Amino acid sequence: MEYFAENYDVIIIGAGHAGIEAGLASARLGAKTCVFTINMDWVGNMPCNPSIGGTSKGHLTREIDALGGEMGKAADRNTLQSRMLNLGKGPAVHSLRAQIDRRAYSAYMKNRLETQENLDLRQAEITDIEKTGELWQVKTRLEAVYSAKCAVLATGTFLAGKIYVGDVSYESGPDGMFPANYLAAALKRLGIPTRRFKTGTPSRVNRRSIDFSGLEPQPGDERIVPFSFDNDCEVRNKEICHITYTNEKTKQVILDNIHKSPLYSGKIDGVGPRYCPSIEDKIVRFADKERHQIFLEPCGENTQEIYLQGLSSSLPEDVQLAFLHTIPGLEHCQVMRTAYAIEYDCVDPLALKPSLEFLDFDGLFGAGQFNGSSGYEEAAAQGLVAGINAARKAQGKSAFILERSSSYIGTLIDDLVTKGCSDPYRMMTSRSEYRLVLRQDNADRRLTPRGREIGLISQERYNRFLRKCELIKQERERAEKAVIPPSEELNEALVSRGTSPVASGTRLSELLKRPQLNYEILSEFDKTRPELPYEVLEQVEIDIKYEGYLKRQQAQIDEQRRLERRELSDKLDYNAINGLRLEAKEKLSKIRPANVGQASRISGVSPSDISVLLIYLEKAAKQSEV
């Protein structure tokens, strides 16, 4: 017998990385919020790799922090090892990555939800959802009914989840959790356009069964950069990772048993991630490769579990053991958790607005893997935006939209809602055409004012941010004026680094423009430099060294924003616009872009279609003035 339990402003279904950020953002903006989870002991679980960040994902994490989200702070508090990736390349692709104590991270996030004002955390399986009048109502397995002005679906891989290991398959969520079968059926009854995706995870093995003697150690960085721009804790390297490789024996074991993989036997219908393939996928797709790199990553300080990054598989358990025992260091490894593939329901993100609200379901939002993406960081980024917008809608405020030219978060969401995805979407630096401007090191300069504007950044934190900006401005001015006098020692330093000597005094900014030089090299010759934090010097050096490129890219951003200021009504009848091609009419009618900039990025909409659209808008504007 169902009963009415409580009324909220915003309800969040799911307490993974998307649900956490959605719940915290909503509550911090003053909305009465409830976060539902199937199991409270697995809030913020990391069912796959025990890490935060990585190539482009580090950008997302720092952007989440710059806006006032929690992931960066949680990662800093629970870091096992920290490394900045791609330091051999330019700053546009530098990305922070940290190994995380997964259980400690989960406990931290659970506590953040439990102690957050305006937020209730409840353990309950949501079995039904429907719109009744102006409110969304959700029903639990125990037949309690909760209502809210807005709801956020952040279900991860739980919707109709199904595990595959060889010939064995069974209904399950990740890590042996219950699947959300009733909710999956309810969403189909509601008319949500769902499809099946698939992902997977490698084995975990017992540390004491690994022979580390011949493996390549991978220590953390000496100078650690925290994820949070407002970090208030010491981040230390506590663990060392190791690297090993597959070989021809590994390859042969997999090829001899490839017919046993549900990926190749046709048992799995879901589409898997293109950029994170299973080991059997890699062996088949990259047949010419002699070996594949495997990272051995600790799962926590108080566990012996080691995660085998790069060995995702859905082969039978005995085959997994056979190929693991061919790998150096793993010859006698004891498997603690068997690798598996998981298939699940998710939404077609073309059904969503840039605010992550559904086009056809007022007040309903989607976030995370439910939206067709993969990865903790992509999920958290969407959760933050969905939570902000659910709270703002419940409060009668306008939507908060991040343009793709403003951030990786904006790029991620724009890609999903404008282009859709045919496989689990993974963020990459190459997806952003503005990546020199949208670096991970300047995420606070780009987004913290936006976070303050909407109410997620405190005045105290904002004051610290303004002080940093002032130091950057002062140091930039000093670098433009400071003159480094010529000397034998200076010229020796210049020549030794492959750059030409100087015959007269040279401005510091001119020397910093040389690719071979940096603040550290010039420190002993720069006598007027004040004591400044590393991050201030880093920003000034990048601004000076890449000034021409940054100006050129900013001009492109300004032009794109001009198109994005031309808003499009979601009720616009594209079929009535003469000159638009049939494909353009169909795509525009389906996606209903928010502005001309978004329309220009839709596959199947040509530049000539955009010209026709702009002419139509000009005519309509003139007619409205008459």
The DSSP result for 491-540, as a single string, is HHHHHHTT----SS-EEHHHHHTSTT--HHHHGGG-TTPPP--HHHHHHH
pLDDT tops 70 at residue 626 = no
Q: Exposed, middle or buried: residue 423 (CB in 10 Å: 0-12, 13-18, 19+)? A: middle
Check residue 265 and give its pLDDT: 67
pTM of the entire predicted model = 0.95
| Integer Cα distance of 258 and 242 in angstroms | 28
For 290-326, what is each residue's pLDDT tens digit? 999 999 999 999 999 999 999 999 999 999 999 999 9
Q: Is 2.40.30.260 the CATH number for 204-343? A: yes
Q: What is the dihedral angle through the alpha carbons of 155, 158, 160, 165, rounded to the nearest 10 degrees?
A: 150
CA distances to 49, 584, 592 from 588, rounded to whole Å, are 38, 6, 5
The percentage of residues in the chain with a pLDDT greater than 90, rounded to a whole number, is 90
pLDDT band at 5 (very low <50, low <70, confident <90, very high): confident
Say how far apart CA 522 and CA 479 lie, in whole Å: 12
Arithmetic mean of pLDDT, 403-412: 96
The per-residue pLDDT for 620 is 82
**What is the model's pLDDT at position 4?**
87
Using CA atoms, how far apart are residues 487 and 325, in angstroms rounded to an integer? 61
Residue 164 forms beta bridges with which residues?
Answer: 169, 341
Residue 377, pLDDT above cutoff 60: yes
Amino acid at the residue 183: L
- What value does the mean pLDDT take over residues 468-478? 98
Q: Report d(CA 51, CA 53) in Å as an integer.
A: 7
Over residues 449-462, the mean pLDDT reads 98
**Cα 286 from chain centroid?**
27
Q: What is 467-552's CATH number?
A: 1.10.10.1800
Q: Are the beta carbons of 162 and 315 closer than 8 angstroms? A: no
CA 234 – CA 590 distance, rounded (Å): 49
Q: How far are the Cα atoms of 476, 489, 513, 514, 550 from residue 507, in angstroms, in the given order?
A: 12, 17, 10, 12, 21
Question: 465, 531, 541, 537: which is closest to 510 by C-alpha?
Answer: 541
Considering the domain 565-625 in this protein, what is its CATH number? 1.10.150.570
Average pLDDT over the chain, rounded to an integer: 95
**Residue 32, C-beta contacts closer than 8 angstroms, at least 6 positions apart:** 8, 9, 10, 118
| C-beta of residue 520 within 8 angstroms of C-beta of residue 426 | no
pLDDT (mean) for 161-178:
94
Both tokens assigned to 411: 């790029």
What is the C-alpha to C-alpha distance for residues 57 and 94, in angstroms, rounded to an integer?
Answer: 11
Least confident of 135-139, 335-339, 437-441, 577-581: 577-581
Confidence of residue 264 (pLDDT cuts 50, 70, 90): confident
Least confident of 276-280, 481-485, 536-540: 276-280
User: Which residues, in sequence order, are CB contacts of 573 under 8 Å at separation 6+?
Assistant: none
Are the beta carbons of 34 and 8 closer than 8 angstroms? yes
Once rounded to an integer, what is the mean pLDDT over residues 244-262?
94
130 pLDDT exceeds 80?
yes
Q: What's the 3-state SS for 258-310?
A: HHHCHHHHCCCCCECCCCCCCHHHHHHHCCCCCCCEEEEEECCCCCCEEEEEC
Residues 410-437 have a mean pLDDT of 95
In the chain, the amino acid numbered 573 is D
- One fold for 3-196+347-453 and 565-625: no
- The one-letter code for the residue type at 153 is L
Predicted pLDDT of residue 267? 73
What single-letter DSSP state applies at residue 415? I
Q: Which of 559, 547, 604 is nearest to 581 (CA)?
A: 604
Closest CA to 185 of 171, 175, 198, 200: 171
Residue 69 confidence (pLDDT): 98
- Between CA 146 and CA 123 the distance in angstroms is 13
pLDDT digits (tens, 9 = 90+) for 110-119: 999 999 999 9
Q: Band of the pLDDT at 128, cuts 50, 70, 90?
A: very high
The per-residue pLDDT for 30 is: 98
Helices (H), 159-278: 181-190, 248-256, 262-265
In this prediction, residue 403 carries a pLDDT of 95
Pairing mode, strands 204-206 and 305-309: antiparallel
pLDDT on residue 341: 94
- Please give the radius of gyration of the chain, using alpha carbons only, rounded to the nearest integer: 26
d(CA 82, CA 84): 7
Q: Are strands 204-206 and 335-337 parallel, antiparallel or unpaired?
A: antiparallel
164-to-74, 155, 255, 340 alpha-carbon distances in Å: 32, 19, 19, 6
Structure tokens at 419: 């282009």
User: Is there a contact between 237 and 82 (Cβ–Cβ < 8 Å)?
Assistant: yes
Q: Which amino acid is at 493?
A: A
Residues 159-180, mean pLDDT to the nearest whole number: 95
In this prediction, residues 552-579 reach a mean pLDDT of 91
Per CATH, the homologous superfamily of domain 3-196+347-453 is FAD/NAD(P)-binding domain (3.50.50.60)
What digits encode the pLDDT tens for the residues 388-399?
A: 999 999 999 999
Interatomic CA distance for residues 198 and 345, integer angstroms: 9
Of 239, 200, 530, 552, residue with least CA distance to 342 = 200
The yes-or-no verdict on residue 623 having pLDDT over 90 is no
| Whole-number pLDDT of residue 276 | 73
265-274 pLDDT per residue, tens: 677 776 766 6
* Residue-range domain boundaries for the chain: 3-196+347-453, 204-343, 467-552, 565-625
Please write the tens of the pLDDT for every residue from 567-610: 999 889 999 899 999 999 999 999 999 999 999 999 889 989 99
Taking a C-beta distance cutoff of 8 angstroms, is the pair 295, 241 a contact? yes
Nearest to 184 by CA among 195, 174, 175, 176: 195
Query: Average pLDDT in the 434-454 region?
Result: 97
* Ranges 238-247, 531-540, 589-598: which has the least confidence: 589-598
